[in-house]
Amino acid sequence: NNNEGVFTIATTHTQARYKLPKVVETFIKKYPKVNLNIHQGNPSQVTEQILKGEADVGIATEAIGSNDKIFCIPCYSWNRSLVMPKEHPLAQEERITLEHLASYPLITYDYAFTGSTIVSKVFKDSNIEPNIMLTAIDADVIKTYVNLNLGIGLIAEMAFDKEKDRNLIAKDVSHLFPVSTTYIGIRQDTFVRTFTSDFIKMFIPQMTDRELKIILEKRQV
């Protein structure tokens, strides 16, 4: 039965918190008999869950796109924001530099400086050593510690909410880092069920049935 079963999504906190809720709401309305599980982890953990068959799909950035056993579909591009208390000295700066970032304790994602990531590569290529105060898997945790004045926070731009984060200010740092792409990944040899392909189209609403069919036919099954 294409309308029943278990569907497991492995994803990062950023996707689960800021991108998935409306998609999940739509999916559950269409497939009320599908048991939906969401597993959170960093990009490496998401990749591992797909490879082990513990997740039907994974949604993440960077690590997921570099494994040839995972078939990846690009979803959208994004960059980063630097968050700080409104009274912080950098709040007055019009254009943030890497030197600015290195001058203060930095709070960011736990995977940002693990291996050769986009963020770590930018610092390394510039011969600038950041002062990593604290790392977390969760943007909300990062913002909590920034609110305590323990450092400045480097987060995904979609994780800043002007209303909810009214004590903080966000500075655009897209000129410092290359754009990142979020992917939906499935194992190359996985049979794609109807509700899985429907979920993909819900997450990437600009994608048509025909486009998805053509994309999935490229898998190395």
> Does this chain's domain 5-77+180-216 share its CATH topology with 80-172?
yes
Question: Which candidate, 184, 178, 188, places its Cα nearest to that of 58?
Answer: 184
- Give this prediction's pTM: 0.87
The CATH superfamily of 5-77+180-216 is: Periplasmic binding protein-like II (3.40.190.10)
pLDDT in tens, 24-35: 999 999 999 999
Phi, psi angles (nearest 5°) of residue 179: -65, 145
What mean pLDDT is reported for the chain?
93
Return the pLDDT at 64. Answer: 84
Q: Is 183 helix (H, G, I), strand (E, B) or coil?
A: strand
Q: Which amino acid is at 202?
A: M
Residue 162, H or E segment: none
pLDDT band at 185 (very low <50, low <70, confident <90, very high): very high
Return the pLDDT at 187. Answer: 94
Q: Which fold has domain 80-172?
A: D-Maltodextrin-Binding Protein; domain 2 (3.40.190)
Most trustworthy range by pLDDT among 107-111, 118-122, 124-128: 124-128
| Domain positions in the chain | 5-77+180-216, 80-172
Mean pLDDT of 135-143: 92
pLDDT in tens, 144-184: 999 999 999 999 999 999 999 999 999 999 999 999 999 99
- Long-range contacts of residues 216-219, Cβ cutoff 8 Å, at least 24 apart: 216/71, 216/192, 218/71, 219/71, 219/186, 219/188
Return the pLDDT at 117. Answer: 83
The CA-CA-CA angle for residues 118, 56, 10, to 5°, reads 45
pLDDT band at 211 (very low <50, low <70, confident <90, very high): very high
pLDDT in tens, 40-86: 998 889 999 999 999 999 999 877 878 889 999 999 999 999 999 99
State yes or no: pLDDT of 126 exceeds 90. Answer: yes
Residue 155 · residue 61 · CB < 8 Å? no
Q: Give the integer Cα–Cα distance in Å for 11 and 13.
A: 7
Q: Give the integer Cα–Cα distance in Å for 11 and 44.
A: 10
Return the pLDDT at 113. Answer: 65
